[in-house]
Amino acid sequence: MTFHKSISARTQFIKASLLAVAAAGFAFMEASPVQSSISSPAEMLPRADATLVAATSAVDQAVLEDGDYLFGQSPQPWVNGVAYAVFSVQDNQTVGAFYQPNSSFDCFYGSVQPDRLVLNVVDSYEQTIHPYEVALTLDNSLVAGGGAGAYTLAGFHRLDSLSAQDIEMLAVCKADFAE
């Protein structure tokens, strides 16, 4: 599997996709204007001040149980042009990647809060860190019977299983950022 470093049309599509998802419910930290020359997916994320989002200690209640997760803008896995998030949760800490199939990916690490993921996204090209937050929403349709609903990322669909490529990207990010 080869991940390509830059494709201008792909970059513009990712930018448009992330902006559309932002309108659907992403929670952002003090966003600043988008830069005019974008070379990686992480550069499309709104930036906060230079202070990094600290990975906080575990909260009282686990929103996402320990394990591996895959979410996509499409309910179908591995669709070209669609953004995905693959990540692992351990004791309310997370490590993972944002990606589009057949493209580059950006690793992230951070914490799981009751209503959001608080992340530091690492630009795969420049290795710069961008604070980022993703809203968690309760989706009662994911649970059968009268039990509590399951949480999902705002603007994303929860997918059941990770592909070999998802596992490979997750392993790379864990090797670089897992504590």
Give the tens place of pLDDT for each residue, 97-155: 999 999 999 999 999 999 999 999 999 999 999 999 999 998 766 555 444 458 899 99
Q: What percent of the chain has pLDDT over 90?
A: 55
Task: Give the pLDDT of residue 178.
Answer: 79
Neighbours of 61 (CB within 10 A): 7
Q: Mean pLDDT across the stretch 73-77?
A: 96
Q: Mean pLDDT across the stretch 6-30?
A: 39
Task: Give the pLDDT of residue 27.
Answer: 35
Tokens 């809060």 sit on residue: 113
Give the tens place of pLDDT for each residue, 162-173: 999 999 999 999
| Strand intervals (E) in 22-162 | 67-72, 84-90, 93-99, 105-112, 116-122, 129-139, 150-153, 157-159
Neighbours of 81 (CB within 10 A): 15
Task: Give the pLDDT of residue 150.
Answer: 82
Q: Are 133 and 114 in contact (CB under 8 A)?
A: no
Given a cut of 50, whether residue 12 has pLDDT beyond it is no
Task: Give the pLDDT of residue 92.
Answer: 95
Domain ranges (residues) in the chain: 8-44+65-177
CA 9 – CA 120 distance, rounded (Å): 26
Tokens 């990322």 sit on residue: 153
Q: Which residues pair with 130 in a beta bridge?
A: 121
* Helix runs in the chain, H state only: 8-24, 164-177
CA 114 – CA 64 distance, rounded (Å): 9
